[in-house]
Amino acid sequence: MSEQKNKANRTAIKLLSVACGMFVFGFALVPLYDVICDVTGLNGKTSGKTSGAAYLQGQAIQEQLVRDQEEPGFDDDRQVTIQFLASNNASMPWEFRPASRTLKVQPGKLNMTTFYARNIASMTITAQAVPSVTPSRAARYLHKTECFCFEQQRLASGESLDMPLRFIIDRDLPEDITTITLSYTLYDITQPVNDELAAYQGYKF
């Protein structure tokens, strides 16, 4: 009879581990979601510099450049419009705008533009630019080789900066996409950065 009790306990322990497993799975959804977004462009996220998919992006850019040399003039007359948007999150007091609203670019060619930012607040502010692309399926065809969104930007009061963006539009961009909109939103991350700094210094000294 106590065998039956053991059996019941074994079932209970198995079920409990399933529950714990699902708790972990909940957290695993976070990186999983990021990977899916990076690969498929779901949600129009473009890859950050540090993400795993940045490596894939690097590969894609390499291939693109190699192909450019091997078969120059490929699809030469195709033009894609890329449109830039710049906006601030609610409590972000910077002046922030693209140097040009739109560019006509050729897929497979390296392009460059800048965004202008000026800190009009009375204190130093650290900002993070968050990129987003629409239509979202175009995100995976936009390869950035250099972007101010790869790093945090720190401007003292009154300071201004022209922030560079270099990118290639993939030649494999679906034919029906003729306009890509790339938006950047600036977030004020001064507080978290200062907290981190303080924690680091506290640890060191």
Partner 1 sequence: MNTAKQCKWLFALPLLVFVSVASADWSALNMREGVTEISRQVYGLHMIMLGVCVVIGIFVFGTMIVSMLMHRKSLGVVPATFHDSTAIEIGWTLAPIVILVILAVPATTTLNAMYDASDSDIDIEVRGLQWKWQYTYLNDDPAKEISFISSLLTPEEEIYNRAPKREHYLLDVDNELVIPINKRVRFLITSADVIHAWWVPDFAVKKDAIPGFIHEAWTVVEQTGIYRGNCAELCGKDHGFMPIVVRAVEEAEYNDWVVEKQAEAASVFEIVGKQWSEEELMAEGEKVYSQTCAVCHQPNGQGLPPAFPALAGQGLSIGPLDAHVDVVLNGKPGSAMQAFSSQLNAAQLAAVITYERNSWGNKGESIQPKKIHEMIGGQ
Partner 2 sequence: MSAVIEVHHHDDHHHGPAKGLMRWVFTTNHKDIGTLYLWLSLSMFLLGGCFALVIRAELFQPGLQIIEPEFFNQMITLHGLVMVFGAVMPAFVGLANWLVPMMIGAPDMALPRMNNYSFWILPFAFAMLASTLLMDGGAPNFGWTFYAPLSTDQGPPSTTFFIFAVHLMGISSIMGSINIIVTILNLRAPGMTLMQMPLFVWTWLITAFLLIAVMPVLAGVVTMMLMDIHFGTAFFNAGGGGDPVLFQHVFWFFGHPEVYIMILPAFGVVSAIIPTFARKRLFGYPSMVYATASIAFLSFIVWAHHMFTVGIPIAGELYFMYATMLIAIPTGVKVFNWIATMWQGAMTFETPMLFAIAFVILFTIGGFSGLMLAIVPADFQYHDTYFVVAHFHYVLVPGSVFSIMAAVYYWLPKWTGNMYDETLGKTHFWLSFIGINVLFFPQHFVGLAGMPRRIPDYALQFADYNMMSSVGAFLFGFSQLLFVFIVIKCIKGGKKATDRVWEGAHGLEWTIPSPAPYHTFSTPPRLDRQEAHG
Residues that bind partner 1 (CB under 8 A): 43-44, 81, 83, 85, 87-93, 95, 97, 100-102, 118, 120-122, 130, 132-136, 176-179, 181, 183, 185, 187-188, 190-191
Could you tell me if 170 and 64 are in contact, meaning their C-beta atoms sit under 8 angstroms apart?
A: yes
- Of these partners, partner 1, partner 2, none, which one is at the site of residue 85 (CB under 5 to 8 Å by kind)? partner 1
Task: Find where tokens 């987003």 sit.
Answer: 132
- Of these partners, partner 2, partner 1, none, which one is at the site of residue 145 (CB under 5 to 8 Å by kind)? none
Which residues make beta-bridge pairs with 82? Answer: 103, 180
The dihedral through the CA atoms of 32, 35, 40, 45 has a sign that is positive
Interacting residues toward partner 2 by CB under 8 A? 1-2, 4-5, 7-8, 11-12, 15-16, 18-27, 29-30, 33, 37, 40-45, 48, 89, 128, 130, 134-137, 185, 187-189, 192, 195
Q: Give 78's contacts (C-beta < 8 A, 6+ positions apart).
A: 106, 107
Strand, coil or helix: 78: coil
Nearer CB in complex with partner 1: 69/91? 91
53's tokens: 């998919």
SS (H, E, C) 72-109: CCCCCCCCEEEEEEEEECCCCCEEEEECCCEEEECCCC
Nearer CB in complex with partner 2: 29/66? 29
Nearer CB in complex with partner 1: 51/83? 83
Nearer CB in complex with partner 2: 114/152? 152
- Of these partners, partner 2, partner 1, none, which one is at the site of residue 20 (CB under 5 to 8 Å by kind)? partner 2
- Of these partners, partner 2, partner 1, none, which one is at the site of residue 104 (CB under 5 to 8 Å by kind)? none
Strand, coil or helix: 152: coil
- Of these partners, partner 2, partner 1, none, which one is at the site of residue 4 (CB under 5 to 8 Å by kind)? partner 2
Could you tell me if 164 and 114 are in contact, meaning their C-beta atoms sit under 8 angstroms apart?
A: yes
Closest CA to 124 of 161, 155, 93: 155
